[in-house]
């Protein structure tokens, strides 16, 4: 039983950064913007979070720094694609490349240093309930944030007028503009929110998952988060499901390697990436589904006539 | 609060098409100066060490060519893809697979010698890269799957596969357990161009030839027209009778083959064997090269050399000033950002509300009807 | 009929001017609208009507001039400000969100925070009371064009405007739907509201409008009472010099002529959730004749064009035959090689690549059809040849442009259309299929294009024209068929065709079923 609980806990820990980054990107894409810079924003969050935590000794400050780093980095993307109408794909890629390089540079002095870790929740009485206790009441704070965030985004997008407005921009930015909706402003806010989420996800990596700094420690999770948004057909609860499935695959192959299964470790390590490809293929096969759910203005630059 | 407004130009600005890479470079220099200052280094000294010293001697020019060759080769292939609006992000993986395929000959048949070995290796390298690139192409045409994510995921898979190969079945039994294959025999090594002057090898020639051929293809041939039309207006391309699926395969196979060629050239030239890591991210840096060269093969030659210089500069400032060599990546990233930003000026005039920064060149006299969205 | 004028005008515009770069779209425009008046804004495409109303609605800011509302000077800086004043607008091109419901669409244009359910209820009630019934919970993507227009109208009326601006509202309606709309407008007028009615359809304007302002090239050329004018005098005000009437000589020997384009039982499943299936379409177009296909937008015109052109292939190779050969399995290039030419509805992005030069756009449809003239051995493009050919077309069609070989996007709509049509005519094709030949094109260019199509047919080619403009079809066709919901009616020879009959078919009536007869104006 204990082993199962521990495995479930590791799945949750693996899924959390994927979930947060994907939820953030979901909001961005719902507004019609494609931000391929998630990996870059995440790694910047990771290095910022680790660095701030290491230098101040407080993981909480680290967490705030991670969020801020992600948001700031995404601001760069926002200015380029929203105010200067640059190609979103190229700009997003550049953001990732820049982020990977910049984080490597900032993090040089952090390599090998011991980090600080966010403390797990510990409610006396509740957390010690067998099985359920640790799962529900004994996880790290970011886990709880991820669940609340998912619910909040769900409520925001589908139950509020502002969320409806955001979705309308994603459907047709020209119609939204014609109605007097401030398209660029909404998109700025969405992109920065997405950046903050990606930063938070990165902070989770370096402050909870492995409280260390390793270059390129995101290992492609930002890209998987992007795939998750497609897999979820841009719906928040499906992102949750997808993140946990992927978290399971990610952790599963690590556990399998630890168990000594007679399969080459590299093959196991490539499972998450292959799984991503398979999942994408399955979801995109249904053209009707894709057409009905994809925000119609996704990725198109918007320059209003004035 | 200051507001930025973009006013669409009736036609692309020829002036800015030519100027934008230079403006971008200038802006990068300025930003770089700030960066060096923040790191506590005299910017002028840093720039001298970064940009001037690494190319002041002939043997260093050879090093530049060695670094530039794979960048140019890959970027030229990518430029065709991107012009067609097909986003091959997996060139790094195709590079690796090309290297693996081509290396099969010297690793598995070390006794095979003679003048046929190298051409065969190069051919296999191209086949390997193209075959690996065919996967995302197939998934896109058959299942409508986004090629950015699939080609990228396959990079990770390729890296892991290479790691397994050199640690496992292809490991040199006499290699004291190091993860590497046997050293390639003499027939399997890409020869140097001018051995007395430096290490530059035939890879650089391949790069220049490829750039020239692609330049002709894109500029003069119907195929190039097909690429450009499908990339900018897919419906017009369909109206012209150009098939999008065929183009996806064409673009991916071409860029995959070139990336594979770069891979096998790198391995059989500079390295001489297969190792777990054979590329410092050439496949990704090539993306920057492609954009910096404005997706034009001749521009890419220049851009490749510039980016190769940033690599050498990074190594130089690391040894001379103790700055992390990652600064090269930062420079590359900044350069790309500025290029993308400057490219906006090609399509739009920028107006700061209050000030008029418009340039009047090329303001075409419009015909009677206004260009609004009133009539279709 | 019209309500009392109590002295002050509802809206007064003085000297309103708007300049885009070097183009003066609106030049010192004066306009008055009284309360309870339906006021027409007349002018052909490019006259400045849309620009003017966008300024009234706050989407654009004027460079100079004044606007007075109920006697008070106002500055209308945004659509929100316009709505607050009491100005509502129904655009020609709708601002709707396909993936959202009608109620959600309406909610987004209202500024209050009331819950969607109450907005839905109000919308439903209002729509029924004005005779334009609407289901608020339907997805916009599933609605027809006429139904979508209702959403736009209801959304406008919910804000209780004093002045309603309608931009070419009947261009997407059948004649019967248009009549329904006019009833609604007359009801609004009797309630004391004013309407600014933009149109270039003179019979409509004469029928329902009290006063008219005529624009030409951005300037006001006159104010008048349309009922005291004839269609001809109004047209002269709009266009200036007499536009050459299109000459259509009768066709000799049409019965024995060969059908050059045969469509037999053409069927096509819907390609996307929002597209129209084609159901068993059959049609022959003979050498020497022009067949017109009428129909309101959204009834399968695009799908039909794609099937005939070869952008979409047919399972049954014999369902499309060109010059006696099965063409259903051939791509568009194959069909062109058989002697067919095609002009699609959309100019930029379909008929032409916007950011490519005209000479390159020539290559778009003619890279395979002219032997080695444009593309040499090995695939080398002959830039000299395509430049020369494009200059020849530009001269033949009188295409106005600002540079010798400009990008397609730099041309005005009319001039680009002239080039695109000219590009195909230059080949002297045996079969010519055109979708919306003169949409958004000024009168001079439109007449030129229509005359060219007639002359092509008279020289022995088969011409098929799909158009939403009934006037145009009556001008150039020898027979008219109607496309409704993917089905094509039997072609009606022009001598027997009337607006009523065609209008009924456009609305979906079976031929022969009696609907109440309508008076034409």
Grade residue C509 by pLDDT with cuts at 50, 70 and 90: low
pLDDT at B217 over 80: yes
| Mean pLDDT for the stretch of residues C281-287 | 93
B233: nearest CA partner in chain C:
C349
Grade residue B79 by pLDDT with cuts at 50, 70 and 90: very high
| CATH code (residue A151) | 1.10.3470
Mean pLDDT of chain C, nearest integer: 87
Q: Please check whether residues C331 and C358 belong to one and the same domain.
A: no
Please state, in angstroms and rounded to a whole number, the distance separating the CA atoms of residues C417 and C401: 12
pLDDT at C342 over 70: yes
Residue A120 has a pLDDT of: 85
What is the domain range of residue A227? 2-293
Show which subunits contact C, needing at least 3 CB pairs below 8 angstroms.
Answer: A, B
Q: Please check whether residues C302 and C394 belong to one and the same domain.
A: no
| CB < 8 Å from B in window 226-245 of A | 226-227, 230
Q: Which residue has the higher pLDDT, C228 or B297?
A: B297
Q: Please check whether residues C390 and C450 belong to one and the same domain.
A: no
How does pLDDT run across A31-72, given as a tens digit for each residue?
Answer: 999 999 999 999 999 999 999 999 999 999 999 999 999 999
Q: Please check whether residues C129 and C220 belong to one and the same domain.
A: yes
Locate A121 and state its tokens. Answer: 């929740």
Q: Please check whether residues C159 and C33 belong to one and the same domain.
A: yes
| Mean pLDDT for the stretch of residues B101-120 | 90
| CATH code (residue B235) | 1.10.3470.10
Show which subunits contact A, needing at least 3 CB pairs below 8 angstroms.
Answer: B, C
What is the total count of domains within chain A?
1
Please report, rounded to a whole number, the percentage of residues in chain B having pLDDT higher than 70. Answer: 93
ipTM: 0.86
Q: Please check whether residues C275 and C409 belong to one and the same domain.
A: no
Q: Which residue has the higher pLDDT, B375 or C130?
A: C130
Last residue of a domain, one of C383, C411, C428: C428
Pick the range with the lowest mean pLDDT from B25-29, C190-194, C329-333, C504-508. Answer: C504-508
pLDDT at C2 over 50: no
Grade residue B376 by pLDDT with cuts at 50, 70 and 90: very low
Report if residue B257 sits inside a domain.
yes
Report if residue A89 sits inside a domain.
yes
Please state, in angstroms and rounded to a whole number, the distance separating the CA atoms of residues C317 and B19: 53
Pick the range with the lowest mean pLDDT from A199-208, B327-336, C101-110. Answer: B327-336
Residue B374 has a pLDDT of: 33
Q: Which residue has the higher pLDDT, B239 or A129?
A: B239
Report if residue C349 sits inside a domain.
no
Q: Please check whether residues C364 and C506 belong to one and the same domain.
A: no
What is the total count of domains within chain C?
3
Contacts by residues B207-211 (CB-CB < 8 Å, ≥ 24 positions apart):
B207/B68, B207/B69, B207/B70, B207/B72, B207/B73, B207/B76, B207/B262, B207/B301, B207/B304, B208/B72, B208/B301, B210/B72, B210/B73, B210/B76, B210/B77, B210/B258, B210/B261, B210/B297, B211/B72, B211/B76, B211/B297, B211/B298, B211/B300, B211/B301
pLDDT at A292 over 80: no
How does pLDDT run across C255-277, given as a tens digit for each residue?
Answer: 677 899 999 999 998 877 667 88
What is the domain range of residue C384? 354-428
Mean pLDDT of chain A, nearest integer: 91
pLDDT at A136 over 90: no
Q: Which of C102, C96, C108, C147 is nearest to C120 (CA)?
A: C102
pLDDT at C188 over 70: yes
Q: Do A168 and C273 touch (CB under 8 A)?
A: no
Residue A36 has a pLDDT of: 95
Grade residue A261 by pLDDT with cuts at 50, 70 and 90: confident
- The minimum CA-CA distance between C62 and chain B, rounded to whole Å, is 15
| Mean pLDDT for the stretch of residues C194-217 | 88
pLDDT at A1 over 90: no
The distance between the two most distant Cα atoms of chain C, rounded to a whole number of Å, is: 78
Q: Which of A43, A97, A23 is nearest to A219 (CA)?
A: A43
Three-state secondary structure call for residue C488:
strand
Q: Please check whether residues C400 and C501 belong to one and the same domain.
A: no
pLDDT at A171 over 90: yes
Residue C80 has a pLDDT of: 81
Please report, rounded to a whole number, the percentage of residues in chain A having pLDDT higher than 70. Answer: 99
Pick the range with the lowest mean pLDDT from A183-192, B366-375, C182-191. Answer: B366-375
What is the domain range of residue B149? 61-106+116-306
Residue B188 has a pLDDT of: 84
Please report, rounded to a whole number, the percentage of residues in chain C having pLDDT higher than 90. Answer: 54
Grade residue C245 by pLDDT with cuts at 50, 70 and 90: low
Report if residue A123 sits inside a domain.
yes
Please report, rounded to a whole number, the percentage of residues in chain B having pLDDT higher than 90. Answer: 50
pLDDT at B117 over 80: yes
Nearest to A178 among C91, C99, C273 (CB): C91
Report if residue B338 sits inside a domain.
no
Calculate ∠ Cα C189-C193-C194, nearest 5°.
Answer: 85
| CB < 8 Å from A in window 187-216 of B | none
Last residue of a domain, one of C428, C456, C485: C428
Q: Please check whether residues C417 and C498 belong to one and the same domain.
A: no
Residue C514 has a pLDDT of: 35
pLDDT at C164 over 90: yes
Report if residue C418 sits inside a domain.
yes
Q: Do A97 and B333 touch (CB under 8 A)?
A: yes
Residue C252 has a pLDDT of: 67
| Mean pLDDT for the stretch of residues C72-91 | 88
CB pairs under 8 A between A and B: 138
How many Cα neighbours within 13 Å face the side chain of B1? Answer: 3
Please state, in angstroms and rounded to a whole number, the distance separating the CA atoms of residues A229 and A279: 11
Report if residue A48 sits inside a domain.
yes
Last residue of a domain, one of C393, C428, C463: C428
Q: How far is CA B224 from the centre of its chain?
A: 19
pLDDT at B218 over 60: yes
Residue C254 has a pLDDT of: 67
A306 in contact with B, Cβ within 8 Å: yes
Residues of C in contact with A287 (CB under 8 A): 272
pLDDT at C307 over 50: yes
Asked if residue B285 lies in contact with residue B266, where contact means CB atoms within 8 angstroms, the answer is: no
Residue B11 has a pLDDT of: 76
Q: Do B330 and A284 touch (CB under 8 A)?
A: no
Residues of C in contact with B225 (CB under 8 A): 360, 363, 367, 381
Please state, in angstroms and rounded to a whole number, the distance separating the CA atoms of residues C490 and B278: 70
Q: Please check whether residues C401 and C435 belong to one and the same domain.
A: no
Interface test with A, best of B153, B328, B347, B372 (most A CBs within 10 A): B153
Q: Which residue has the higher pLDDT, C5 or C486?
A: C486
Q: Do B144 and A284 touch (CB under 8 A)?
A: yes
Residue A128 has a pLDDT of: 75
Report if residue B174 sits inside a domain.
yes
Report if residue C216 sits inside a domain.
yes
Report if residue C491 sits inside a domain.
yes
Q: Which of B303, B42, B68 is nearest to B205 (CA)?
A: B68
Please state, in angstroms and rounded to a whole number, the distance separating the CA atoms of residues B264 and B259: 9
Interface test with A, best of B132, B157, B370 (most A CBs within 10 A): B157
- The minimum CA-CA distance between C361 and chain B, rounded to whole Å, is 9
Report if residue A215 sits inside a domain.
yes
Residue C24 has a pLDDT of: 83
Q: Which residue has the higher pLDDT, C470 or A37?
A: A37
The dihedral through the CA atoms of C410, C414, C417, C423 has a sign that is: negative
Look at the pTM and tell me if it is higher than 0.90. no
What is the total count of domains within chain B?
1
Q: Which residue has the higher pLDDT, A287 or B100?
A: B100
Exposed/middle/buried for residue B108 (C-beta within 10 Å: 0-12, 13-18, 19+): exposed
Residues of A in contact with C80 (CB under 8 A): 180
Grade residue C242 by pLDDT with cuts at 50, 70 and 90: low
Q: Which residue has the higher pLDDT, B370 or B64?
A: B64
Residue C243 has a pLDDT of: 58
Report if residue C113 sits inside a domain.
yes
How does pLDDT run across C56-72, given as a tens digit for each residue?
Answer: 988 888 999 999 999 89
Residue A7 has a pLDDT of: 86
Grade residue C3 by pLDDT with cuts at 50, 70 and 90: very low
Residue C423 has a pLDDT of: 96
Q: Please check whether residues C105 and C195 belong to one and the same domain.
A: yes
Q: Nearest 5°: phi and psi at C284?
A: -120, 140
**What is the length of chain A?**
306
Grade residue B211 by pLDDT with cuts at 50, 70 and 90: very high
Residue B371 has a pLDDT of: 36
Q: What is the edge-to-edge ordering of all strands in the sheet holding C72-74?
A: C23-33, C11-20, C64-69, C72-74
Report if residue C4 sits inside a domain.
no
Residue C253 has a pLDDT of: 65
Q: How far is CA B376 from CA A236, C93, C104, in A?
A: 37, 9, 27
| Mean pLDDT for the stretch of residues C429-449 | 90
Locate B78 and state its tokens. Answer: 């990518």
| CATH code (residue C458) | 3.40.50.300
């Amino acid at each position: 039983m204990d082993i199962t609980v521990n495995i479930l806990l590791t799945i949750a820990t693996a899924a959390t950064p994927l979930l947060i980054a994907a939820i953030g990107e979901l909001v961005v894409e719902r507004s019609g913007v494609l931000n391929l810079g998630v990996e870059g924003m995440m790694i910047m969050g990771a290095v910022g979070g680790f660095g701030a935590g290491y230098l101040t000794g407080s993981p909480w400050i680290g967490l705030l720094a991670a969020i801020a780093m992600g948001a700031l980095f995404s601001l760069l993307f926002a200015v380029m694609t929203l105010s200067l109408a640059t190609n979103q794909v190229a700009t997003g890629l550049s953001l990732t490349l820049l982020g990977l390089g910049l984080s490597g540079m900032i993090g040089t002095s952090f390599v090998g240093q011991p980090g600080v870790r966010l403390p797990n929740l510990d409610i006396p009485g509740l957390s010690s309930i067998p099985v359920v206790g640790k799962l529900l009441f004994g996880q790290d704070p970011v886990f709880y944030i991820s669940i609340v965030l998912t619910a909040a985004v769900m409520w925001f997008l589908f139950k509020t007028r502002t969320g409806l407005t955001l979705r309308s921009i994603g459907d047709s930015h020209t119609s939204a503009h014609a109605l007097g909706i401030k398209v660029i402003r909404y998109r700025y806010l969405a992109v920065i929110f997405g950046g903050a989420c990606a930063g938070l996800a990165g902070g989770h990596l370096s402050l909870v998952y492995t409280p260390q700094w390793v270059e390129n420690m995101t290992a492609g999770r930002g890209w998987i988060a992007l795939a998750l948004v497609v897999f979820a057909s841009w719906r928040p609860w499906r992102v949750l499901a997808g993140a946990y499935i992927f978290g399971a695959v990610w952790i599963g192959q690590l556990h399998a390697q630890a168990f000594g299964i007679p399969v080459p470790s590299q093959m196991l390590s490539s499972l998450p990436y292959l799984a991503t490809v398979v999942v994408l293929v399955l979801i995109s096969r249904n053209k009707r589904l894709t057409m009905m759910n994809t925000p119609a203005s996704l990725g198109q630059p918007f320059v209003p006539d004035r | 609060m200051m507001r930025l407004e973009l006013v669409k130009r009736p036609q692309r600005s020829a002036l800015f098409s030519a100027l934008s890479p230079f403006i971008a470079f200038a802006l990068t220099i300025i930003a770089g100066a700030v960066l060096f200052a923040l790191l506590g280094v005299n910017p002028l000294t840093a720039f001298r060490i970064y940009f001037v010293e690494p190319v002041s001697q002939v043997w260093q020019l050879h090093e530049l060519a060695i670094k530039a060759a794979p960048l140019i080769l890959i970027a030229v292939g990518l430029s065709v893809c991107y012009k067609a609006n097909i986003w091959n992000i997996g060139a790094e993986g195709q590079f690796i697979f090309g290297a693996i395929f081509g290396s099969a000959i010297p690793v598995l048949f070390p006794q095979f010698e003679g003048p046929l070995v190298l051409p065969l290796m190069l051919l296999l390298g191209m086949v390997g890269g193209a075959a690996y690139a065919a996967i995302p192409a197939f998934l896109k045409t058959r299942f409508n799957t986004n090629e950015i994510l699939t080609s990228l995921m396959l990079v990770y898979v390729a890296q892991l596969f290479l790691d397994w190969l050199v640690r496992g079945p292809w490991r040199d039994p006499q290699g004291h357990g190091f993860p590497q294959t046997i050293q390639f025999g003499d027939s399997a090594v890409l020869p140097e161009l001018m051995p007395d002057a430096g290490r530059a090898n035939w890879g650089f020639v391949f790069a220049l030839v490829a750039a020239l051929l692609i330049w002709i293809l894109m500029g003069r041939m119907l195929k190039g027209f097909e690429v450009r039309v499908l990339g900018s207006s897919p419906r017009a391309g369909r109206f012209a009778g150009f098939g999008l699926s065929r183009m996806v395969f064409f673009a991916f196979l071409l860029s995959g083959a070139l990336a594979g060629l770069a891979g096998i050239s790198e391995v059989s030239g500079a390295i001489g064997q297969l190792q777990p890591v054979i590329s410092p991210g050439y496949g990704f840096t090539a993306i920057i090269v492609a954009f910096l060269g404005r997706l034009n093969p001749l521009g890419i030659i220049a851009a490749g050399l510039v980016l190769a210089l940033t690599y050498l500069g990074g190594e130089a400032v690391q040894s001379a000033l103790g700055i992390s060599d990652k600064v090269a990546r930062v420079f590359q990233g900044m350069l790309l950002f500025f290029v993308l930003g400057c490219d906006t000026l090609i399509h739009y005039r920028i107006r700061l509300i209050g000030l008029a920064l418009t340039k009047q060149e090329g303001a075409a006299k419009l015909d009677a009807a206004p260009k609004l969205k009133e009539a279709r | 009929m019209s309500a009392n004028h109590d002295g002050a005008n509802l809206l007064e515009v003085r000297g309103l001017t708007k300049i885009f770069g070097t183009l003066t779209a609106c030049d010192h425009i004066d306009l008055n609208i009284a309360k309870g008046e339906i006021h027409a804004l007349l002018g052909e495409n490019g006259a400045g009507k849309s620009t003017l109303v966008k300024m009234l609605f706050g989407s654009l800011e004027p460079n100079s001039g004044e606007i007075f509302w109920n006697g008070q000077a106002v500055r209308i800086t945004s659509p929100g400000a316009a709505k607050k004043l009491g100005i509502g607008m129904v655009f020609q091109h709708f601002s709707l969100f396909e993936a959202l419901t009608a109620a959600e669409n309406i909610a987004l244009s209202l500024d209050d925070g009331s819950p969607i359910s109450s907005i839905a209820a109000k919308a439903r009630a209002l729509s029924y009371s004005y005779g334009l019934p609407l289901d608020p919970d339907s997805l916009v993507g599933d609605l027809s064009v006429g139904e979508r227009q209702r959403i736009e109208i209801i959304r406008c009326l919910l804000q209780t405007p004093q002045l309603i601006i309608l931009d070419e509202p009947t261009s997407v309606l059948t004649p019967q739907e248009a009549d329904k709309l006019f009833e609604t407008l007359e009801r609004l007028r009797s309630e004391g509201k004013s309407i600014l009615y933009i149109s270039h359809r003179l019979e409509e304007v004469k029928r329902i409008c009290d006063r008219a302002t005529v624009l030409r090239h951005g300037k006001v050329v006159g104010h008048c009472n349309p009922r005291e004018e004839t269609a001809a005098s109004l047209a002269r005000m709009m266009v200036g010099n007499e536009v050459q009437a299109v000459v259509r000589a009768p066709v000799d020997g049409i019965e024995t002529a060969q059908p050059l384009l045969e469509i037999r039982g053409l069927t096509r499943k819907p390609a996307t959730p929002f597209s129209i299936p084609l159901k068993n379409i059959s049609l022959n177009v003979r050498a020497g004749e022009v067949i017109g296909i009428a129909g309101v937008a959204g009834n399968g015109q695009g799908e039909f064009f794609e099937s005939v052109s070869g952008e979409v292939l047919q399972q049954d190779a014999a369902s499309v035959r060109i010059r006696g050969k099965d063409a259903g399995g051939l791509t568009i290039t194959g069909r062109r090689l058989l002697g067919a030419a095609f002009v699609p509805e959309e100019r930029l992005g379909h008929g032409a690549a916007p950011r490519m030069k005209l000479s390159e756009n020539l290559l778009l449809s003619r890279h395979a059809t002219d032997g080695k003239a444009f593309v040499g051995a090995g695939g080398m493009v002959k830039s000299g040849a395509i430049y020369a050919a494009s200059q020849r077309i530009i001269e033949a069609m009188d295409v106005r442009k600002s540079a010798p070989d400009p990008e397609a996007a730099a041309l005005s709509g009319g001039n680009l259309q002239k080039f695109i049509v000219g590009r195909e005519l230059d080949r002297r094709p045996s079969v010519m299929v055109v979708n919306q030949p003169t949409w958004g094109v000024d009168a001079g260019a439109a007449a030129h294009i229509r005359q060219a199509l007639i002359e092509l047919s008279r020289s022995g080619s088969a011409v098929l024209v799909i158009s939403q403009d009934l006037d145009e079809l009556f001008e150039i066709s020898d027979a008219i068929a109607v496309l409704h919901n993917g089905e094509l009616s039997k072609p009606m020879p022009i001598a027997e065709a009337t607006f009523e009959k065609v209008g009924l078919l456009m609305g979906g009536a079976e031929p022969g079923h009696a609907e109440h007869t309508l008076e034409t104006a």
